[in-house]
Amino acid sequence: MRKEGMGLNTVRDIERAIDTLTPEELEELYAWLDQHHPQPIDARLTPDLAAGRLDKTIRRALDDEKSGRVKPL
């Protein structure tokens, strides 16, 4: 859903501006976006990570990587 006044030209302007950012400025932008507009998956994962519900799965994935049982994407 678009907010009033947010036309396609504005989005294109933002895209062009982002393309000119330095790597440091991009990191700053990502941090701002994460803080102000977190992705829905982040909102669901954060409590599970904090509660340790994913620890076993993470350990298994890291062990698989160390043992060479995974392929790069």
Interval 38-48 mean pLDDT: 85
Interval 5-28 mean pLDDT: 87
- The pTM of this model reads 0.47
Q: Is the model's pLDDT at 1 over the cut of 50?
A: no
The reported pLDDT for the residue numbered 43 is 81
Can you give 9-69 as a three-state secondary structure string? HHHHHHHHHHHCCCHHHHHHHHHHHHHHCCCHHHHHHHHHHHHCCCHHHHHHHHHHHHCCC
